[in-house]
Amino acid sequence: MDVLLFGIIAEKAGRERLAITASDTRELRARLTDAMPFLASLSYAIAVDRHLLRDDRPLNGDEEIALLPPFAGG
Amino acid sequence: MKTHKKRDIFVEGAIPASFIAESIAEHATATSIGGHEIFLGQVRADEVDGKQVAAIDYTAYRDMANDEMVVIREEAFARWPITCLHVHHSLGTIPVGQLCFFVFASAAHRQPAREAVAFITDEVKKRLPIFGREILSEGGHGWKENR
């Protein structure tokens, strides 16, 4: 699945999307930190299908995943 | 004028003062309105690591932000008897002193308009995935974080 990257995460990764394969959000997090070790020192939220992820859940691969650093609107 | 349909709140670049004036003028025909309340966000020359912020470059997860705005708007309409509610936020590079955020509520009476604008302003800052890269006057950059 494609993971959308924003803000400081997109900047540090040098890209705005990343392809990751994961069967649930726990695995997703592990794969993300493997691919982008700098994530370990950043504060960010995960959105699945445009909703903030609160509890781990399975993924079928069709979801829209996004990594969201702290919000700065307004 | 009371619609809860999804709109795109984002505008490219700073919000011109003339746009705000036109938005007010558009309500002249809505004669049940007795009061308008407005919040305007302006890019501030903050200091980051001893350097001054010259501009903020805004980006957003646009689809999620617009979806979440629909939810916030519905919450506001459920809580207050407001006639209209308009929200606009800038994307792109906005220099200090320019407007980047416009919240506008109208109602028969002042109190609901005031409370709705305060609520919307806070919730947008808290809940919308908008990101701000602070461009510093002496080179370099930082990332803004709402508290």
The token pair at A63 is: 């979801």
Q: What is the pLDDT of residues B68-78, one digit of tens each?
A: 999 999 999 99
Instruction: Tell me what ipTM this predicted complex has.
Output: 0.96
B86: in domain: yes
- The CATH number of the domain holding residue B80 is 3.90.1170.40
Pairing of the two strands A2-5 and B47-48: unpaired
Region B84-113: mean pLDDT is 98
pLDDT at B1 over 60: no
Contacts of A73 in chain B (CB under 8 A): 58, 60, 65, 89, 101, 124-125, 128, 130, 132, 146
Region B16-43: mean pLDDT is 97
**Separation CA A63–CA A47 (nearest Å):** 10
Report the pLDDT value the prediction gives residue B5, as an integer from 0 to 100: 64
Report the pLDDT value the prediction gives residue A17, as an integer from 0 to 100: 97
Alpha carbon separation from A20 to A11, A52, A66 (Å, rounded): 18, 18, 12
Range of B108's domain?
10-41+62-129
User: Chain A: residue nearest B65 by CA?
Assistant: A50
Alpha carbon separation from A46 to A18, A42, A52, B138 (Å, rounded): 14, 12, 6, 34
Domain ranges of chain A: 2-68
Q: What is the pLDDT of residues A12-56, one digit of tens each?
A: 999 999 999 999 999 999 999 999 999 999 999 999 999 999 999
For chain B, how many structural domains are there in total? 1
Query: Domain A2-68: which topology?
Result: Ubiquitin-like (UB roll) (3.10.20)
Q: What is the pLDDT of residues B56-65, one digit of tens each?
A: 999 999 999 9
pLDDT at B144 over 80: yes
Q: What is the reported pTM?
A: 0.95
